[in-house]
Amino acid sequence: MTVPDHTPRFSSFVRGSLTALSFLFTVAVAVAQTTLFTYPDMLLLDRIGNLNVDASGHYALFNVRATDMDRNKGVSSLWRKDLTKPTGPEVRLAVSDGGAYDAQWSPDGGHIYFLSGRGEGGITQVWRCDAMGGNAQQVTWLPLDVGTYRVTPDGKGLVVSLAVFPECKGDEINCTVQRNAARAADKASGMVYTKLFVRHWDTWADGTRNHLFYVALNGADAPSLPVALTDGLDGDVPSKPFGGSEDYTISPDSKTLYYSARVAGTTEPWSTNFDIFSVPITGGASTNLTSANLAWDATPRVSPDGKVLAYKAMKQPGFEADRFEMQLRDIATGNVTPLASTWDRSVDDMQWSRDGKSLLVIAGDVGTTRLFRIDAKTGAVTPLSTKGHMDAVQETPTGFVFLKSGLNGPSALYASAPKAKMIDAGATNLTAVNASLKNKEFGAFEQFNFKGWNDETVHGYVIKPAGYVEGRKYPVAFIIHGGPQGSFGDGWSFRWNPQTYAGAGYAVVMIDFHGSTGYGQDFCDAISGHWGDRPLEDLQKGWAHALKTYSFLDGDRAAALGASYGGFMVNWIASQWKAPWKCLISHDGVFDSRSMGYSTEELWFDEWENNGANVFEKPAVYDTFNPLLHANNWSVPMLVIHSDLDHRIPLEQGIGVFTALQSKGIDSQFLRFPDENHWVLKPQNSMMWHRTVFDWLDTHIGDGVGNGTH
């Protein structure tokens, strides 16, 4: 399979060189060549991310990840867009040839910093090039890989994260290098653990922690010694497994570092107690600023004038899906004031506006993910975007530059129209990345609502098959989201993408059942302790509503499929609600709730979701909605998918599902990936995942004459 050419292309009419007649001819040809969007198309799309705009608002940096199927990997490159020339081409930076990612502008806009392993020994370090992407120079010479970094606002230094042994306090870097060398030379492979975590997400604990260091930018001739900022901390900054540089920030005067961390001790697998700490950039003792809150404090952000620290905080200890509310701390006095505390939405990300008068907040909202402005004095909430999924945003002197995706396409780079109340209304698409999508046909979609559990309003989406013909009935993929505190709404996914099902001839129905995010905290909380009843009622009523409302849905040819919590629900409905389904697909689903309670890694999650019960003390609680206890009633054909590196829902859960199916003689398959985690990320593995899934659907509900074929 060939790799697509990622050179920017702009249609001739944008350059103003076509006559009206030739333009119409071009449109007619494009329509005639439109083809259905399929999963191979999706896997070969470029992925835009890591938006960074220079202080003047002149240039935007972003990362493009192309897929190299032959090498079975993603290939990243850095691109620059001149924002003063919105119809001009974006430029791939030559510095990408040596490997470059996580680019950041210098404060003065004269240089671009980035991470690369192009130097001696292949160790990842911070590099710098000029604003045009040339003259790359190494600026850190550390003996350990740099994981993340931030440039200080004065441009005189960096804060970097390194994986070190915390017991090496006082000389963390050199001591860690020596211990790593000794471990590599040891012919014994055993590892002794004295506390949990022993494994987390997809790796086994090796004893190191992510710690922060300040490095002055003195030049290659006199590299400065790094200053330990979290010396001896029994915790990770950034947090594992998904934390990044958003977990820490530097004050505008470059004198103070603020970071979010959880002190591990012996309670780490049960604790969501992250706190905000401050430490002088020159080193010294850290100060815990949020010790009074035993729940999660995160995302520190200092106002442009350096007077106020904003952060987001939860209230419920031990609950990872509690509402993140905004807090404002007066840095001089230490007084903390909640901001917009009655706004019933959970903050995903936030940043200060350029004038320091408000916070720009991204949050889920009724099946969408939108941008809001929150007034820092009054707490007044003003929406700044409409539908879709706001992926990233930066304010410039003249407006906003942002990344946005939706059910109708992957993330793309836009600039807001001048003085637009909604920044995505009339916005200008700034790149030709994935321009080939204009020749692809997607399924039309709409949001609907109905009365679910407790007679409360529940929302969902329906997607028509691409190439829809009025009056025809189509087989249905009923896709159930994971989390369970998640959402399948107006957003793009490279794993569970409803448009790939629409392109294969299937209609799609997705329900945001009780427990989903973006509908208020009470709605989110309703699933805890009720995995198998309240959301099941929503799914059943949503399915009935969809069949009644949309005549193109063929209720006699339908499949239910999902991953994580969605996989659990598939395992659950296999006994509790099997009548509508001709086949099922369970990916990384819980099969034995008791076993899950003592073999998963983040124990706070399982205990919270089981009404705070410890599986060793109250095992019966875990049996309330335990699919294992009802497997004898299974009869629907099922495809089971699981991976060896999934420590969140261990491999044995999937093996258990397949064993039960086989022992009962039920038509079943088991797809195992030895090198994947809770997700399937490698391009060839993802291709196999989709091929296996669609073959299974086509076999059981496809009609063989165009619908359900690929």
User: What domains sit in the chain, N to C, each tagged with a CATH number?
Assistant: 442-701 (3.40.50.1820)
User: In angstroms, how far is CA 109 from the centroid of its own chain?
Assistant: 29
Least confident of 213-222, 281-290, 420-429: 213-222
**How far apart are alpha carbons 126 and 145 in whole angstroms?**
9
User: How much is the average pLDDT of 107-112?
Assistant: 97
Sorted by sequence, the CB contacts under 8 Å of residue 223 that are 6+ apart come out as: 140, 141
490 HSE (CA, 13 A, CB side)? 21
Give the CA distances from residue 221 to residues 134, 139, 140, 141, in Å, rounded to whole numbers and listed in that order: 21, 10, 11, 11
Residue 217: its pLDDT value, please?
94
Q: What is the 3-state secondary structure (H, E, C) of 262-289?
A: CCCCCCHHHCCCCEEEEEECCCCCCEEC
Query: What confidence score (pLDDT) does residue 221 get?
Result: 57
The token pair that represents 684 in the structure block: 């060839």
pTM of this structure: 0.94
pLDDT exceeds cutoff 90 at 27: no
Query: Which stretches of 456-549 are assigned E, i.e. beta strand?
Result: 457-463, 474-480, 507-512
pLDDT at 481: 98
Please give the average per-residue pLDDT across 239-267, as a whole number: 97
Chain-wide mean pLDDT for the chain? 94
Long-range own/partner contacts, residues 153-156 (CB < 8 A, 24 or more apart): 153/107, 153/250, 153/251, 153/252, 153/253, 153/254, 154/107, 154/253, 154/254, 155/106, 155/107, 155/108, 155/217, 156/216, 156/217, 156/254
With tokens 């600039």, the residue in question is 415
pLDDT grade for 223, boundaries at 50, 70 and 90:
low
Q: What is the pLDDT of residues 590-641, one digit of tens each?
A: 999 999 999 999 999 999 999 999 999 999 999 999 999 999 999 999 999 9
The whole-number average pLDDT for the span 116-123 is 94
pLDDT (mean) for 64-88 = 96
In b/e form, how buried is each residue of 82-93, taking b as 16+ CB within 10 angstroms? ebeeeeebbebb
Q: Is the pLDDT of residue 706 over 50?
A: no
User: Which range among 207-221, 289-303, 418-432 shows the weakest confidence by mean pLDDT?
Assistant: 207-221
Residue pair 459/109 in contact (Cβ under 8 Å)? The answer is: no
Model confidence over 648-690: pLDDT tens digits?
999 999 999 999 999 999 999 999 999 999 999 999 999 999 9
Average pLDDT (485-506) is: 97
More confident residue, 2 or 255: 255
User: 14 pLDDT band (50/70/90 cuts)?
Assistant: very low
SS3 560: strand
Measured distance CA(252)–CA(153) in Å, rounded: 6
Other CB atoms within a 10 A radius of the CB of residue 71 amount to 11
User: Residue 326 — very low, low, confident or very high, per pLDDT cuts 50/70/90?
Assistant: very high
| Side chain identity at residue 62, one-letter code | F
- The pLDDT of residue 29 is 42
- Is 477:463 a contact under the CB 8 Å cutoff? no
